[in-house]
Amino acid sequence: MWYFLVEQQAVDTAQYRALQKQVALTEVELFNEPYQNWYVLSVEKDNYKAFIDHLDLAGITYDLRPDRPTRDELLDTMR
């Protein structure tokens, strides 16, 4: 399983719905101001390449992790 981290403000509603159809699990990590909310998109290894291609073609920036990041790790990415 791979975990793609996407800032909520980086995608619109239609893009988010399209992403949800391609992943195994979508989680939303909500933070208070001044921090950003994050989508944590879980992708099976078999779908990894196709999902990266989709993100790249759509111009969506992401961070990739082999393990599910903790809430503290997500906060660290914003600092």
Question: How many domains does the chain contain in total?
Answer: 1
Is the pLDDT at 15 greater than 70? The verdict is yes
Q: 23 falls in which pLDDT band (50, 70, 90)?
A: very high
CATH code of residue 50: 3.30.70.2030
**pTM of the complete model:** 0.90
Q: 66 falls in which pLDDT band (50, 70, 90)?
A: very high
Is the pLDDT at 76 greater than 90? The verdict is no
Q: Regarding beta strands 25-29 and 63-65, do their DSSP bridges make them parallel or antiparallel, or are they unpaired?
A: unpaired
Domain of residue 35: give its range: 2-78
